[in-house]
Amino acid sequence: MPVLPASLQNLITALERLPGIGPKSASRLAFFLLRAPDEISGLLAEALQALKSHTSFCPVCFNITQAGSATCEICADARRDETILCVVEEPLDVLALERTGGFSGRYHVLGGVLSPIEGKGPEDLKIRPLIERVRTGVIREVLLATNPSMEGDATALYLRQQLVPLGVRITRLARGLPVGSDLEYADQNTILRALAGRQEMN
């Protein structure tokens, strides 16, 4: 079997570590970049460097924001309803909900879900800051918008147990979302129906 130059093999290996990219896809991308004009690979390299140096996480809700900002744009927007807090798994879920235009409250990004198989427990998520935000007394409703998967449901149930003693209304997205799907792949009408039909968690 022919041996690839180390630089090309290193790129393939790095691409394979990305979610959804297998060995064949990684090889195709690497060979495309090898043959592509210098401008394309240069722009990609600059974008990757800027991603790390110009992006950070909001210290309030843990959504992505511009590096150096005190908070993200959503947390800084005084027009949003600060009494309703929507809890999501990842920043991509915030984008999915914002595209619908159907939610005007604030967000809290957990940074994942509880997953014993992957070794992710409550201490690995932004659960403690969530509890602290609710304890301020400003929040009246917590909408648990974790994905309708086994891990998402388990995380929502755990959060409900933590939040019930705090006396807030706890709701969950209605099952307009198919089980096993992710918010980022759902169409806007499906998400709007799920938002409108949110229910108490019993």
Q: Does domain 6-53 have CATH number 3.30.160.100?
A: no
Grade residue 197 by pLDDT with cuts at 50, 70 and 90: confident
Residue 193: its pLDDT value, please? 75
The pLDDT of residue 170 is above 80: yes
What is the per-residue pLDDT across 69-97, written as a single tens digit (0 to 9) for each?
899 999 999 999 999 999 999 999 999 99
Q: How far is CA 196 from CA 37, 88, 89, 140, 142, in A?
A: 48, 16, 20, 17, 14
> Strand locations in the chain, DSSP E?
55-57, 64-66, 81-88, 105-109, 141-144, 169-172, 199-200
Residue 125: its pLDDT value, please? 97
Question: 3.30.428.10, 3.40.1360.10, 3.30.342.10, 3.30.420.40: which CATH number matches 64-200?
Answer: 3.40.1360.10
**Residue position matching structure tokens 């909001």:** 58
Mean pLDDT across 124-152: 95
- Say what percent of the chain tops pLDDT 90: 72
Q: Is the pTM of this model over 0.75?
A: yes
Beta-bridge mates of residue 86: 107, 143
What is the per-residue pLDDT across 25-35, written as a single tens digit (0 to 9) for each?
999 999 999 99
Instruction: Kindly list the domain boundaries of the chain, sorted by start residue.
Output: 6-53, 64-200
- Give the 3-state secondary structure of residue 200: strand
The pLDDT of residue 1 is above 60: no
